[in-house]
């Protein structure tokens, strides 16, 4: 890890460790996930003007009306899709700045990540390449459609909130696979996990969250 990735001052190892301890206190238990939060340089995924706030447990703007998710939520969602092992194929809907992708990447076999806003996607590609992350395939497209040609997936993770979960995404989940998504209108979103058992989907409630809405189309 070079000096830029290690960070200094408010982006230093000590600052990151305080964030990890906060997440432990909030219930994050998987040491693999905590290690990723500790080691992924979140300050590289935000504008330089916001770098001093990168290790606060809060969402931050990344442009185009989008945000980098709160570290607790990233950790919670990562735990929820990787519980019990390493999913071989993961669909990520909403690449955004690439931070969630970077946290998840070593805990998955391969990630298929879709982003509808092309400038965000290109910047995320560059950052992940700089960090040596090579097991991600990207697509500029409408995430609500999923990636049918690569289905079924062992896990699906949504980084934006639909009012109701698109059935097209559930259908792309493999047997025993897990889909984790924030669902609901702005201000009343709930993080849900669906586990596929044949034609049935077991639903679990993981808590209330706040995400940008899942939009269709591309820009």
3-state secondary structure of 112: strand
Distance CA 65, CA 78 (A): 23
69 is catalytic: yes
* 6-211-171-76 Cα dihedral, nearest 10 degrees: 50
Q: Is 189 helix (H, G, I), strand (E, B) or coil?
A: strand
- CA dist., res. 110 & res. 101, Å (int): 11
- Name the catalytic one among 12, 69, 113, 210: 69
In the block, residue with structure tokens 């559930």 = 170
Positive or negative, the Cα torsion across 1, 41, 129, 102?
positive
Give residues with Cβ within 8 angstroms of 152, minimum separation 6. 89, 172, 173, 174, 175, 177
Query: Would you name the residues annotated as active-site residues?
Result: 69
């Amino acid at each position: 890890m070079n000096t830029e990735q290690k960070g200094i001052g408010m982006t230093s190892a000590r600052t990151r460790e305080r964030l990890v301890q906060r997440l432990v206190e909030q219930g994050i238990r998987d040491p693999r996930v905590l290690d990723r939060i500790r080691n992924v340089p979140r300050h590289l995924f935000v504008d330089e003007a916001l770098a001093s706030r990168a290790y606060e447990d809060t969402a931050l703007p990344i442009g185009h009306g989008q945000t980098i998710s709160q570290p607790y939520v990233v950790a919670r969602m990562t735990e929820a899709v990787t519980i019990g092992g390493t999913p071989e194929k993961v669909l990520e809907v909403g690449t955004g700045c690439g931070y969630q992708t970077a946290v998840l990447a070593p805990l998955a076999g391969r990630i298929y990540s879709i982003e509808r806003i092309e400038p965000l996607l290109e910047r995320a590609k560059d950052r992940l390449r700089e960090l040596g992350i090579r097991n991600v395939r990207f697509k500029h497209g409408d995430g609500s459609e999923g990636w049918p040609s690569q289905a079924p997936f062992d896990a699906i993770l949504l980084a934006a909130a639909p009012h109701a979960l698109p059935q097209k995404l559930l259908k792309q989940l493999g047997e025993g696979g897990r889909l984790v998504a924030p669902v609901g209108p702005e201000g009343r979103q709930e993080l849900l996990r669906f586990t596929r058992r044949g034609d049935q989907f077991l639903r679990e409630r993981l808590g209330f969250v706040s995400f940008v809405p899942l939009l269709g189309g591309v820009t």
